[in-house]
Structure 1
């Protein structure tokens, strides 16, 4: 390696060519990278959709879901199976285990379903497919003073136009029900013409058709026999002959029935700012660029406004806005940090030296872009996050190498020799530091759950950047410095540099020097003081002064309002309640507009109102003004004012607010059991306890009481006439639900033709009682004579997890300051044990955020000991010393002192993003520690006495370590002080690194010398006890010339120490509210 570095130093052109080549291929790679909001993750979800018209949730569960679940048992590669049985339909979700091929599991699932032979006769063919992971790009609403049918037609045209754009394929519409043709009969017309619903449906099906009847082959040509009597509209169907009398007369459909085109009995409606609308949703696939998709759609919308002046297209959400804001944020802060680092390096070293050190950042990123593009990494918020994390480490490595070269030059070596010796001296330590950081980030490749999938891209970005930083630091940087005028005898430092040099010398000799001498002399008290700081921060954490949460609350620029009425509530009543809520939101908007924006700007940009999927469910999607412009008017403030303005709502079962977290609600608890009554009582008990917790709000469950059900019980007369329950309910179903006569394709829509009673003849229980049931002989008997009626409540949905019925309870935190970890701990340790004792047939499991956290932590408990052991062995091999590797490892926990203090100062909880910053902090810590101990070993090799070597090393490493910390902290300062909403998810990471270094720098400069003294004393004592002879301080050090290696002994001791250290880490995972 020395010869390679020497070649690049002596041939500057080789380093420049390599640098230019990296930049060129990096730009090529960057140009090939697509933009998405989140990383592209292959789907591991299989969906099974079942449609069973006219069925209840119980029928769906018994006839479809249970049979499928039973056949899926025992299939390899399935993590779990969940299902929802609803009226008329079911949805079964199969989660595939990581490491298994989803396509293979999909085929296994289809084969298992094919083995079910007893599905209900009226069930439609099952739809089994692998869910496609799509990214949200943009959506807009089309509204105007035109009928819904016109809105739909215009939206269909927009859908076709957008789908015709290059690289845009996923476009869907929402806001309208299906179209259908309804043929309604009156009971008296049925009896007068002696016709049944079944007969009418059959006659329509047999008459309205287009079919071929074969061919006639003449001597000269072939003729096709064809009947074409298929109609596609209600008006055309009216002339169908529905019956022929005995006298040859015909009865046409219009004579005894009403035929009309209509919307299906589904309340799917969308309103934007109070006006009916159709929403066009555009998504991007894994192969499509999100920014490119949104740009093309926005260009199309300009054309749309000209093409359809009678309607208005309102953009509801534009995913590219947030992504671009975050890209701009990271770019701005990156450039600002780069300039700050450059200025500081120029002030303390030399501006030319500073430039070449700072150049490591773009070179490393350019190399990373090439390989990232080759393996499908996209530019997204997570990969950008990884670039921010790694900047501090990249600068740190460059400073270490550049400063050491500069030090060798100051000591009198020629420029080329200084570049070579300075690089070679610290390169093993830099290599080990980078390798340990790579190992640390590689843990994300083995973490389960969505977090592992998402942050895997961040790890790849960091790792490739570090690899190229090593190439740049070993080959390019030394060559540039060696040929730079920074290493020139003629160079005369200016007044500023002379002043800063004097200041640095003063700090080293007059401030750090006495502290260093004290730490070397009183090493055990020094260690005790550091432990005291760690215990104080730990106590503040355990006592709740420093908050913690796994998923931080990120400010959003939209929120949802969910409303659920009593099951069966008619659509117009639900709409009336939603209108009152919408009016309250508009009033709040006006108040805030007048109070905070001088009546000029609306803090609420638009309101999207949706009724559905049932008549008693609705939601509002409220889009807010961008956070920077909105300022102190937070989403939480707006929600609080809306709650106060709305007040109590009559007939409303649930009224909640949410932000649509991808991981679910902060609190999500599932209770499972086979005894429905016991499960219901357990849910009530848990909810009663949760409602006593003041830090929780919007506590709801999905065990909603269903529609009122009219149950039929046959009278003896029915049996005497030969009826079965199936006979009677079949005829009732045809009249009230409808008999499906036919399905026709009308454009892009599949339209069903239904035969049933008119709405006026099925609007009261008396209509059911008066319905005539036909016997096999043609006699018609009122239903009241054949059956008794009993009314009771049913259920809306039946949820199941792994074959057991499930009721889910969810809640939100009352404000952003609340730690959900504390609440979850109370639920686990206080509430659930009592409930489960009272209801022994019920079991509990956490879902949502807690489940994702558990999956992540469980995998980390397995992975982290291996990762730590690998890092330890790298350090051991670097020093060929277990004791010195233990010194490096022992520094890591003390980094949490600054992390805790920083989060306390800024009032932020320690979160997942904070821990990611800690990983970056560990990389810098290990780097500085490795270089420090390497320099110490070099002095021991040179014959410097032990105590003198410790003190000289501390003073020699003071400048580069302090410079590394100052530049990294200064580079992150703009991000920490950033008020932008887009910066909020990055600030915890920046605080961890900056404050960790702020406190950790002093700890590292003081604690390493103390630990070197302590370990030296321990080793001397052990050697004297083992050999019986007094040994010198220097002779027990691994770098001592001619020292016989006790590597095996130290290795065994080190493994024992690592085991104890791993036990400590496991304990932290188990008991700390951050990790568990």
Structure 2
């Protein structure tokens, strides 16, 4: 390294070229790096979806889900198999072992599923695909006083126009029911013409079709032959002949049936600000640029609005691109403020040109890092920008050590070139290994497993890349700049300004040196004299800090609720609730939202915008808490209401969580609601409380879930308690009477004919434009409303005999399940709840339930077991990994310290600072009034490598002075004062670089404050410990070596005798 430093030092062209390569490379890479609010979270899982239309959940479970589970069970690479059987739909999710070939395993699973030949005949083809999360860029509400068909047609046209934009590749139309052609034939009409629903369906199949007939090769050329008869719209189906009577008269479909060319018979609908609506969701796929997509979409919408009919509005809803801009702007503001503070500190403590070249290392390192973003797959996101903020002050640490040493040699009379080379060479080893130790502490952050790891990995890699480039800059570029810099002057070279500035620098420098010699040196001498009392004091500080957790003054919460700019309420009513009842409940939530608006706007001046921008409500669908694979189709008992808040950048008013709680209070209880939850969380690690209950018996699972819900209600701060067990719709269970067998009617005949009458016979599917439309033959709606309609229908035997339903079958009422969830072959019921974290942390509630409630509950229900899921599962996995990899990182740090120091004991002395850095982090959280969270732990882990750097610089200096023959007492009493300025300066720059983030109260940056606090306050505490405790530990080690006879007593010691700790073994 010394030769490399010398070569670059004597060749300023090479150092400047290297600097400009890094700077220009970063500037060129920045436009090619895609931007996103949070890093894309990849899910290692494969999903298999199978529609089994019209089937009950129990039929879906036994006929589809279990068969898929058995087919893929035991496949190498599958970690967990989960399934969900709902009405008419099966979804199976195979979670994969981390690191397997996802594409290959997906193909293996698909082959095994496609090979299943025992699915019921009514199932559709399984769809097997890797789970990929398409990040939403924004949603657009298309609303107005228009009918459903008009809104859908306009929505489809807008979707096609949006997809045609260069930057856009995926747009989904939401809350628009699929088209369907329903051919309704009454029982009376069937009997009058001697037909069955299946016969009508077959007639449609045989008449509504196009058949290619090959070609005629004539002398004039080839002529294609085609039979064309495919019907596409309702009136064309009406002309289809279904029966030719004996007298030759044709009976058309229109004469015996009511053909309805309309929408699927479902309860999907939406309202935006009280008007009927559909929504367009624009998503980002792969590396597409969020801001480019948003910009093109917004420009298009301005033009499209002018072309829409009067009364139809296009409104942007859920603009994630704006959230990205706001969050990045807030972080960039903190970064700029931190950078300015770092520059100010440098110019106050160092000569101006010296400070300027030290500070130049920051943009060089940052742009060098950005230059590698495209190659490494790192995006410009909140995590990568936060990484830059974390290292703002750290990046100059090595440069400060180099520059301060160079400046010391210059003050001793050396020339600039000689001083630069001597200073850089002298500190090259501690600087290089100091940076490597800091990089090592980010190993745990880039190795967090699972989807959570994808979120944090870019932060760790960004920091490590920045540190690598800062090392290159401080060792190869900075010495050359210091060696060839111009004579000292302030920008502008104004004499008076320069004199005043230099005078201020002089006073600060003199004050710092005076403090070091007049106050610090006597204090450290006294501490060394009372070294065992000093160590005892350190132990007491550690004990008091730990007691903060025992006393409850400091708490730990795994993941803070990251609040967004939207409020959401999810409502579930009993299965089978009429859509009219659900609509009334939604109206109540909407009215509560308007009441909330009135309260929030009560103090506003005239013309001031409302705190609520829009209210969007939907009925028929949402993804319930704890579900797997969501819900297929629309259900009349489901609803979701969203409120878009007006929170401009830098908003520091009432938090969204408080507004959500107030919305809950204004809504009150909704009669018969099975679940009603409110949230303002934009990002989280899963449900705050989630228990998964396993067992074979659904009744036992239901009872345990009910008792667990009751237990959770007894804890303060627990909200929105619910479970995944849902009593399904009432169902009519059919059984054959003995008389049916005498007529040759089987259970399959009975079930098929009832299904055709009430669900429908799918005659065909047609492609009309881009819509796949089913043509269904069934009874009219008026004949599908009551048990009487079932009792009065006719069942046909194989010979054509018609008999009343009641003469061959029996119908009994029962109730099934809404959704049946399974995990690894066992049925599962999930109990979930939210927590008001201002009252109690989720961990405290979970631990109390496990200790006090669950043992008794499970003892009453043998055969039922449980596991933690949601945030608790992620906490266990992440903390377990963090603990193991942190131990590995500490071993790496130990090795990186032991190698240059050539000692086994000195690294332990240096690393003794680490726990006290954690103490500083905890004290910082206490000062700021924050609980310790997972981000805090990451800050503490990162802190471990930062705080040892100052200790390494101090111990390296002690070793060098011992080589000169000085006594250990003298070296220890003077080392701290000699190295006081670089040690303090590196700590101050790290702290002030993070200070703007720590004092930022905006919601955009709140999730990152704990990490900044851990690192900032931990560095300050580590500096104090470095300056006082490390010298004491060095002397304690010397006492031990003297006591064991491995070192002579002080009065017999001769200069030198570097204590390396090798004497201990």
Do they superpose with TM above 0.5? yes
Equivalent residue in structure 2 for 1:717, among 708, 732, 739: 739
| Alignment-derived partner of residue 649 in structure 1 | 670
Whether contact under 8 Å (2:554, 2:931) holds in the other structure is: yes
Whether contact under 8 Å (1:173, 1:278) holds in the other structure is: yes
Give ranges in structure 2 of 5+ residues lacking alignment.
622-634
Whether contact under 8 Å (1:51, 1:126) holds in the other structure is: yes
Instruction: Find out whether 1:337 has 2:346 as its counterpart.
Output: no
Instruction: Find out whether 1:573 has 2:594 as its counterpart.
Output: no
Whether contact under 8 Å (2:420, 2:483) holds in the other structure is: yes
Q: What's the offset of the Cα at 1:296?
A: 1.0
Whether contact under 8 Å (1:670, 1:846) holds in the other structure is: yes
Write the distance in 2 (CA, Å) between the matches of 1:217 and 1:937: 99
Instruction: Find out whether 1:615 has 2:601 as its counterpart.
Output: no
| Alignment-derived partner of residue 425 in structure 2 | 424
Write the distance in 2 (CA, Å) between the matches of 1:726 and 1:266: 27
Whether contact under 8 Å (1:450, 1:852) holds in the other structure is: no
Whether contact under 8 Å (1:769, 1:784) holds in the other structure is: yes
Whether contact under 8 Å (1:139, 1:280) holds in the other structure is: yes
Secondary structure at 1:122's aligned position in 2? coil
Q: What's the offset of the Cα at 1:765?
A: 1.2
Write the distance in 2 (CA, Å) between the matches of 1:793 and 1:339: 68
| Alignment-derived partner of residue 1017 in structure 1 | 1039
Whether contact under 8 Å (1:350, 1:486) holds in the other structure is: no
| Alignment-derived partner of residue 212 in structure 2 | 212
Secondary structure at 2:603's aligned position in 1? helix
| Alignment-derived partner of residue 959 in structure 1 | 981
| Alignment-derived partner of residue 303 in structure 2 | 303
Write the distance in 1 (CA, Å) between the matches of 2:157 and 2:684: 32
Give 1:331-410 correspondences, 5 Å limit.
331-410=332-411
Give 1:679-828 correspondences, 5 Å limit.
679-828=701-850
| Alignment-derived partner of residue 1066 in structure 1 | none
Whether contact under 8 Å (2:43, 2:451) holds in the other structure is: no
Instruction: Find out whether 1:591 has 2:599 as its counterpart.
Output: yes
How far does the alpha carbon of each residue in 1:877-922 deviate from its partner, in whole angstroms, 9 at most, with x for none? 0201111100111110011221111111211111121122223322
Q: What's the offset of the Cα at 1:981?
A: 1.4
Give ranges in structure 1 of 5+ residues lacking alignment.
1053-1076
Q: What's the offset of the Cα at 1:637?
A: 2.3
| CA spacing shift, 1:726–1:483, aligned 2, 3 Å | same
Write the distance in 2 (CA, Å) between the matches of 1:244 and 1:737: 27
| Alignment-derived partner of residue 514 in structure 1 | 522
Q: What's the offset of the Cα at 1:114?
A: 3.2
Q: What's the offset of the Cα at 1:276?
A: 1.1
| Alignment-derived partner of residue 32 in structure 1 | 32
Write the distance in 2 (CA, Å) between the matches of 1:964 and 1:51: 63
Q: What's the offset of the Cα at 1:774?
A: 1.5
| Alignment-derived partner of residue 415 in structure 2 | 414
Equivalent residue in structure 1 for 2:1057, among 1022, 1036, 1040: 1040
Whether contact under 8 Å (1:393, 1:923) holds in the other structure is: no
Whether contact under 8 Å (1:610, 1:620) holds in the other structure is: yes
Write the distance in 2 (CA, Å) between the matches of 1:844 and 1:211: 58
Instruction: Find out whether 1:189 has 2:189 as its counterpart.
Output: yes
Equivalent residue in structure 2 for 1:996, among 1018, 1038, 1041: 1018
Equivalent residue in structure 1 for 2:506, among 498, 512, 526: 498
Q: What's the offset of the Cα at 1:357?
A: 1.2
Write the distance in 1 (CA, Å) between the matches of 2:155 and 2:1020: 57
How far does the alpha carbon of each residue in 1:438-494 deviate from its partner, in whole angstroms, 9 at most, with x for none? 222123343211122222211211111111100100111122222335679999773
How far does the alpha carbon of each residue in 1:497-529 deviate from its partner, in whole angstroms, 9 at most, with x for none? 222123213321232122211111111111111
| CA spacing shift, 1:174–1:455, aligned 2, 3 Å | same
| Alignment-derived partner of residue 563 in structure 2 | 555
Instruction: Find out whether 1:600 has 2:608 as its counterpart.
Output: yes
How far does the alpha carbon of each residue in 1:1049-1073 deviate from its partner, in whole angstroms, 9 at most, with x for none? 64x6xxxxxxxxxxxxxxxxxxxxx
User: Which shows bigger deviation, 46-55 or 997-1006?
Assistant: 997-1006
| CA spacing shift, 1:844–1:1034, aligned 2, 3 Å | farther
| Alignment-derived partner of residue 986 in structure 1 | 1008
| Alignment-derived partner of residue 282 in structure 2 | 282
User: Which shows bigger deviation, 754-763 or 479-488?
Assistant: 479-488
| CA spacing shift, 1:41–1:702, aligned 2, 3 Å | closer
Write the distance in 1 (CA, Å) between the matches of 2:1053 and 2:374: 51
Q: What's the offset of the Cα at 1:184?
A: 0.5
Q: What's the offset of the Cα at 1:206?
A: 0.6
| Alignment-derived partner of residue 267 in structure 1 | 267
How far does the alpha carbon of each residue in 1:16-61 deviate from its partner, in whole angstroms, 9 at most, with x for none? 2221121111211222211122224554221100011121111111
How far does the alpha carbon of each residue in 1:817-847 deviate from its partner, in whole angstroms, 9 at most, with x for none? 5312212222333333333333231111111
Q: What's the offset of the Cα at 1:113?
A: 1.5
Q: What's the offset of the Cα at 1:599?
A: 7.2
Secondary structure at 2:941's aligned position in 1? helix
Write the distance in 1 (CA, Å) between the matches of 2:360 and 2:549: 39
User: Which shows bigger deviation, 740-749 or 586-595?
Assistant: 586-595
| CA spacing shift, 1:959–1:455, aligned 2, 3 Å | same
TM-score normalized by structure 2?
0.95
Write the distance in 2 (CA, Å) between the matches of 1:1032 and 1:758: 110
| CA spacing shift, 1:638–1:5, aligned 2, 3 Å | same
How many residue pairs match? The answer is 1043
Whether contact under 8 Å (2:330, 2:650) holds in the other structure is: no
Secondary structure at 1:609's aligned position in 2? strand
| Alignment-derived partner of residue 958 in structure 2 | 936
Query: CA RMSD, aligned part only?
Result: 2.1
Give 1:98-177 correspondences, 5 Å limit.
98-177=98-177
How far does the alpha carbon of each residue in 1:665-709 deviate from its partner, in whole angstroms, 9 at most, with x for none? 111110011111211111112111111111211011110110001
Q: What's the offset of the Cα at 1:421?
A: 1.8
TM-score normalized by structure 1?
0.94
Q: What's the offset of the Cα at 1:194?
A: 0.7
Give 1:627-666 correspondences, 5 Å limit.
628=649, 631-658=652-679, 659=681, 661-666=683-688
| Alignment-derived partner of residue 254 in structure 2 | 254
Secondary structure at 2:734's aligned position in 1? strand
Write the distance in 2 (CA, Å) between the matches of 1:815 and 1:604: 25
Q: What's the offset of the Cα at 1:12?
A: 2.7
| CA spacing shift, 1:596–1:928, aligned 2, 3 Å | farther
| Alignment-derived partner of residue 624 in structure 2 | none
Write the distance in 2 (CA, Å) between the matches of 1:262 and 1:234: 9
Instruction: Find out whether 1:860 has 2:882 as its counterpart.
Output: yes
Q: What's the offset of the Cα at 1:632?
A: 2.5
| CA spacing shift, 1:983–1:222, aligned 2, 3 Å | closer
Equivalent residue in structure 2 for 1:624, among 645, 650, 665: 645
Equivalent residue in structure 2 for 1:945, among 967, 991, 1013: 967
Q: What's the offset of the Cα at 1:116?
A: 2.2
How far does the alpha carbon of each residue in 1:303-359 deviate from its partner, in whole angstroms, 9 at most, with x for none? 111222432111111111121122212222222222211122111221211111111
Secondary structure at 1:76's aligned position in 2? coil
| Alignment-derived partner of residue 630 in structure 2 | none
Q: What's the offset of the Cα at 1:555?
A: 2.3
Whether contact under 8 Å (1:534, 1:896) holds in the other structure is: no
| Alignment-derived partner of residue 1062 in structure 1 | none
Instruction: Find out whether 1:531 has 2:552 as its counterpart.
Output: no
| Alignment-derived partner of residue 628 in structure 2 | none
Equivalent residue in structure 2 for 1:545, among 546, 553, 573: 553
Write the distance in 2 (CA, Å) between the matches of 1:852 and 1:225: 63
Write the distance in 2 (CA, Å) between the matches of 1:735 and 1:863: 62
